[in-house]
Structure 1
Amino acid sequence: MITKIQREVVVIHSFNDDGELLSDEKDTMNLLAKLPLDSLDLDAISVVTNIYRVAQGLRNKMEREVLSEFGLSWTSFSLLYDLWIWKSIETKKLAKSAGVTKATISNVTKTLERKELCYRKVDNRDRRITYVAITDKGKEVMERLYPPFHKGEVEIVSGLTVDEQKNTSKLLRTIIRENNF
């Protein structure tokens, strides 16, 4: 498989077992091949583009089919999920876990507080540190919400075998670790 492309030579090739690219990938490769770059790593482009598409598709599907019923955005669900697992967490760690800024944590937390799903508390030893904790109502929401959410997770990966799911998880963990995501 050719993984690099010289600017002068436009080669469209497959990245999957079926020997086909998605039409969006073909369009992307054709456009990028015209840029003044010494070479393109088509495999890297394909992986990153497809991770992005999966992430966006997953987010949109879950917001539309599950989270909207509970009045939650993807980010608010992510925060509530972390609180459900850990009960209470420092805002800095919550931001890192959710992949958002502390400012976003502050805004989303305010919304979740208005819905009485969580509350903030200041560390008694260091007033600069703030924790967010889940309320009983927040736990109840997560206990009702998670079964349909998990059903959606299962549906999303249903086209993969168990071994493919495990391998995909392993590969994604490597990307996460290598980039400190």
Structure 2
Amino acid sequence: MSGHRSIRDTEKAVQDKLGDTPVRHEPMAAVANIYRAAAAVRQHLENSVLRTADLTWTSFVVLWVVWIWGERETRRVAEQAGISKGTLTGVARTLQSRGLLERNSHPTDGRLALLSLTPEGERLMARLFPQFNAEEAFVTDGLADDEALALADLLRRVVMQVETHGEERRLELLDGKDPRPRRSGRRAKG
């Protein structure tokens, strides 16, 4: 039995499973396809252009953020890369060990650290980004330019909805309480 299922197979299985369950199918399909598209694009880029540079998606995004914005506080890099500070620590150490990223103390606040690209990191990004962009063009090749721009606008609106109203919604859903800490999936030691 094959583990791969097409989008149509999955959508039919979901419809069959949910039947008359009162859910809004259009938003469910939109969010499911945002996830599917992001996963497919990430996997394609990691297995092609990023593999040639021995980078993961996350390490590329960290390099991208620092390349575009210049020297940044670690907490800002983590925030802009959409990762935790703990994840950034591991990624930054790996990139430092490869000579692509530098970590320096903040000039006025010793508790803070700054990340910047090394000259080798700058050269890598200048060489790698055109290849990365060629794959961005490949994965959107089925869209006309105006469709790609419309899709970008629609996705921007989804992001803005979460950024603008997500905290308020979270508080409403959790009765004003903070969420429980995330777990790694491991059971607590007994």
Same fold (TM over 0.5): yes
Matched residue of 2:47: which SS?
Answer: helix
Residue 151 of structure 1: how far off its partner (Å): 0.5
In structure 2, C-alpha distance between the alignment counterparts of 1:67 and 1:141, rounded to whole Å: 11
Higher strand residue share: 1
The one of 43, 67, 89 equivalent to 1:84 is 67
1:137 counterpart residue number: 120
Contact 1:33/1:40 (<8 A) preserved? no
Counterparts of residues 15-164 of structure 1 (less than 5 Å): 22-33=8-19, 37=21, 39-164=22-147
Q: Shift of the alpha carbon at 1:32?
A: 2.7
SS at match of 1:59: helix
Code of the residue aligned with 1:106 in structure 2: it is: T
- Give the Cα separation in 2 of the matches to 1:129 and 1:33: 53
Equivalent position of 2:179 in the other structure:
none
**1:3: which partner in 2?**
none
Residues 128-152 of structure 1: CA deviation (Å, up to 9, x unaligned): 2211111100011111111111110
Aligned residues: 158
- Aligned counterparts of 2:30 and 2:118: Cα–Cα separation in 1: 39
Please give the secondary structure, in 2, of the residue aligned with 1:133. strand
User: TM-score under structure 1 normalisation?
Assistant: 0.83
Structure 1 residue 91: Cα displacement: 1.2
CA–CA separation in structure 2 for the residues paired with 1:65 and 1:44 = 31
Alignment check: 8 A CA contact 1:119 1:133 kept:
yes
For 1:93 and 1:179, locate their aligned partners in 2 and report how far apart those are by CA, in whole Å: 19
Distance 2:36 2:140 in 1: 14
Which residue in the other structure is 2:3 paired with? none
Alpha-carbon deviation of 1:65?
A: 0.8
Q: CA deviation at 1:177?
A: 1.1
Aligned equivalents of 1:132, 1:31: Cα separation in 2:
48
Gaps of 5+ in 1: 1-20
How big is the shift at 1:29?
2.2
TM-score normalised over the length of structure 2: 0.79
CA distance in 2, matches of 1:135, 1:22: 46
CA distance in 1 between counterparts of 2:23 and 2:14 reads 12
Partners of 1:33 and 1:88 in 2: CA distance? 52
Gaps (5+ residues) in structure 2? 1-6, 167-190
1:167 to 115, 129, 150: 150
For residue 132 of structure 1, give the secondary structure of its aligned residue in structure 2: strand
Distance (Å, rounded) in 2 between the aligned partners of 1:167 and 1:161 = 10
